[in-house]
Amino acid sequence: MQAVLGSVSDLVVHVSQVPVLVVPHPLTVEEIAATEAGPLIVGTDGSGGADRAVEVAAQLFPSRELAQAMVAGSATEAPESPEAAAATVFPLSAGRDTGARGIARRLVEFADERKAAVVVVGSRGRSAGKELLLGSVAKAVLHHAHRPVLVVPGPRS
């Protein structure tokens, strides 16, 4: 049943209308040190929800460096927008991890490389049924990151 419904933090993130910071337990000494001084890695895709995630992260952590990261089918397939120009673009690996899990894995790898304090992702506010069937990058990041994750909700449908 838990595999279908998800964890308590998944449910809180899904229903919250305000940004939610999820901190995994336990954090290693290195991960704790990163929370004190590391940058924020903000996953972006050029959407309004991603723009909102950048804005909220800047408001909540005004003294921290924000590093935007975009995962695309290839470096040449990244959407052309001002946000894309400011983002580090990673090609999505070929093979099994081509959906939300693959995007999440690339964001988490980048966060680990940069010793990020927090990984910030937007949530599109899909309905529970669509979320269950389609999965989401936000949910995949929550499950794979070994550091705090800030999920910024988008408008609810």
Q: What is the pLDDT of residues 9-56, one digit of tens each?
A: 888 888 888 999 999 888 889 889 999 999 999 998 888 888 899 999
**What are the strands of the beta sheet with 118-123, ordered from one edge?**
20-22, 149-153, 118-123, 40-43, 66-72, 88-91
d(C-alpha 37, C-alpha 33), whole Å: 7
At residue 63, does pLDDT exceed 70?
A: yes
CA distances from residue 128 to 7, 10, 144 in whole angstroms, order as listed: 14, 11, 21
What's the whole-model pTM score? 0.81
At residue 133, does pLDDT exceed 50?
A: no
Domain 2-153: CATH architecture, name and number where available: 3-Layer(aba) Sandwich (3.40)
Per-residue pLDDT at 45: 83
In the chain, domain spans: 2-153
d(C-alpha 123, C-alpha 157), whole Å: 12
